[in-house]
Amino acid sequence: MPPKPKNMNNSTTMVVRSGPPPASPPRPAETESPRDPASGQPPSEDSSMTRNIYSPDFKAELLTALREEMAGIFKTQLETALTNNLIQIKSELHGVKTELSASITAIRSEVDALKVTVADMDGPLSSCTDDVVSLKSDLVRLLAQVLALDRKCEDLESRSRRNNIRIIGLPEERGPVSADTISTLLKDTFGLEKDPVVDRVHRSLQAKPKPGQRPRPIIARLHYYLDCADILRRARAQQRVKVGDSTVSIFPDFTPQTTKACAAFNDVRRQLREVPDIRFGLLHPAHLRITRGDVTREFTSLVEATAFLKTLQTK
């Protein structure tokens, strides 16, 4: 039996043996430690530690520790990466903010300048708008006056040509024309009782044609309108007049605008000749008159005349 420890300085000294940590308390199902089947003795400390390593509790504790360690490492690395990225993003955002601030400042200055410009232009623009409205009304009025003057000028020019006749087809080889030669020609051609009084005669203001080309028309002005109307009536009845070896035609001397307006009805007049029981003619300046029975229509528009012709052809 070992001797009892001595009391030194009235203090109790406890001796703790070194060794493995105390085993966990036995489970309720185990009442005592297992024994070695060969010797029947309790297992040694080394074998107990080996069995503790392979026990499920130890594995669970080890797995939990590894998970916590890996989670800590991952958390540390993630925090580091996020910190670096946040620093970079902050620097980029700061640069963008600086650029935006500069752009906004420039835009504000431009907007302020535009506001000043618009304010300066507001008054003149209002005045210009009023002027445009006034000028528009003046333009409409002047346009109506110009159209009226154009019609009057056309009418005056046509009236100044009332005593004129246009002779087409008289050869250039007959030499220069004069009032006496044209007066004699008209008397002999139409069998007039006396020579008509001719005031002026000239060929149209064109370049002299080459040999073989059509001769220039002759414009003759008669002194009396009755002589002019009589000659035109006789020429209309004969249509083509023989003068020596040449065939000439005599027409009224219309203005270019009237001639163009009359020429627009040429196709309609050609088709009207094929419609029976129709009388038609051109009135000055360019009115197409169509008579069928007791119905008489006058047209100044080619479209309206063509539409009326179609109704006549279908009947």
Distance (Å, whole) CA 75 – CA 77: 6
Task: Tell me the average pLDDT across 5-25.
Answer: 40
117 with 170, same domain?
Answer: no
Question: What does DSSP say about strands 295-299 and 287-292: parallel, antiparallel, or unpaired?
Answer: antiparallel
Angle, in degrees to the nearest 10, between helices 179-190 and 225-238: 50
Q: What is the pLDDT of residue 25?
A: 45
Residue 127 falls inside a structural domain: yes
177 with 245, same domain?
Answer: yes
Residue 149 falls inside a structural domain: no
Model pLDDT for residues 41-82, shown as the tens digit of each residue: 555 555 555 556 667 888 888 888 888 889 889 888 888 888
**pLDDT band at residue 29 under the 50/70/90 scheme:** very low
Picking from 85, 118, 133, the residue at the C-terminal end of a domain is 133
262 with 227, same domain?
Answer: no
Question: What is the residue range of 60's domain?
Answer: 56-133
Strand extents, DSSP E, 195-286: 198-203, 218-222, 241-243, 246-252, 279-283
Model pLDDT for residues 252-265, shown as the tens digit of each residue: 999 999 889 888 99
Global pTM reads 0.54
260 with 295, same domain?
Answer: yes
* pLDDT for 17 beyond 50: no
Q: What is the pLDDT of residue 172?
A: 87
Residue 238 falls inside a structural domain: yes
Q: Is 36 helix (H, G, I), strand (E, B) or coil?
A: coil
Model pLDDT for residues 275-308, shown as the tens digit of each residue: 888 888 888 888 899 998 888 889 988 899 999 8
Give the number of other CB atoms < 10 A from CB of residue 296. 11
218 with 173, same domain?
Answer: yes
**pLDDT band at residue 23 under the 50/70/90 scheme:** very low
CATH of the domain at 208: 3.30.70.1820
Residue 32 falls inside a structural domain: no
Q: How many structural domains does the chain have?
A: 3
Residue 312 falls inside a structural domain: yes
Out of 1-15, 157-171, 197-211, which region has the weakest mean confidence (pLDDT)? 1-15
Residue 38 falls inside a structural domain: no
Q: What is the pLDDT of residue 52?
A: 66
Residue 309 falls inside a structural domain: yes
Q: Which residues of 7-35 are buried (b: 16+ CB within 10 A; e: fewer)?
A: eeeeeeeeeeeeeeeeeeeeeeeeeeeee
Residue 128 falls inside a structural domain: yes
Out of 16-20, 166-170, 213-217, 306-310, which region has the weakest mean confidence (pLDDT)? 16-20
